[in-house]
Structure 1
Amino acid sequence: MPIRVQTEDFDVSTEIAALRAGQPQVGAVASFIGTVRDINDGAGVSEMELEHYPGMTEKALEDIVARAKGRWNIVDALVIHRVGPLKPLDQIVLVAVTSAHRGEAFAACEFIMDFLKTQAPFWKKEQTPDGARWVDARVTDDKALAKWGVVSDNAGPAA
């Protein structure tokens, strides 16, 4: 399963083409791309820096994808998450899921993203006009996770 944590940007078209390559059973690809916003919680954001714990982060992402594969009949999944300093409009994360049918691809993609937001060890620090601030997990992220029958311990950092 393709899992990458990297500082470099990614090309969505190239990544999805590689995920589908040689997989004639794929009838659906669902994807999500997260980007840096220029405003968060009412404050302007000039930069966001993402930190992670190497090794632990990749393992957490692998576990999240394995959970999705256990729930839905998907062919494959891809998670690319960037770390380091990012500016508004920069891509942060790509989640792509292939399956025979769209329903399973959509559900698994949303599931992976919901888990990633609450369970993956990433830490976000935003630069605002009032200075730097760490971004906490959101109640809405916990609610999104709950719809899958999972209660977040909210001890993990935000994604």
Structure 2
Amino acid sequence: MHEPVPERHLVDADATQALGAALARSRPPRAVVYLRGDLGAGKSTLARALLRALGVTGTIRSPTYTLVERYPLQDGGEAWHLDLYRIADAGELEFLGLDADETRLWLVEWAERGAGALPAADLVVELAVAGDGRTVRLVPASTRGVAWLATLPD
């Protein structure tokens, strides 16, 4: 992995949503994002904000029970939001019919449960509860991730 961007404090859900929007505005044409953090750390909030900023309309569901939710993107292709908390083995992902060629953006919660069956991350977003807010570390995991963070506003 590459050097992380310094840790940021997100004072509330609005700050988390602003980060999601900033990531959406600066994202590369194809990207894989692993969202890490305990339950309630803000992973789904960040994913929803990112998808909304990319023009996804209608309900943005948490994939906790469906494992994957697919969203058409305005600029073509699809974004997939995966929540792998409920899987026991990475082999279970075979049954989801994941096709990396169709997917322009992967947002993966609990990616460690799908190790070996997922594309490698370009960016790892580490979220943690900190008082009433959250902390976030953005860790580039590929040259694409480094370039993405270089264009992200402070």
Question: Do both share a fold (TM > 0.5)?
Answer: no
Which is strand-richer, 1 or 2?
1
Q: Larger relative CO (CA 8 A, sep 6+): 1 or 2?
A: 2
Report the structure number with the largest CA radius of gyration: 1
Return the TM-score normalized by structure 2.
0.24
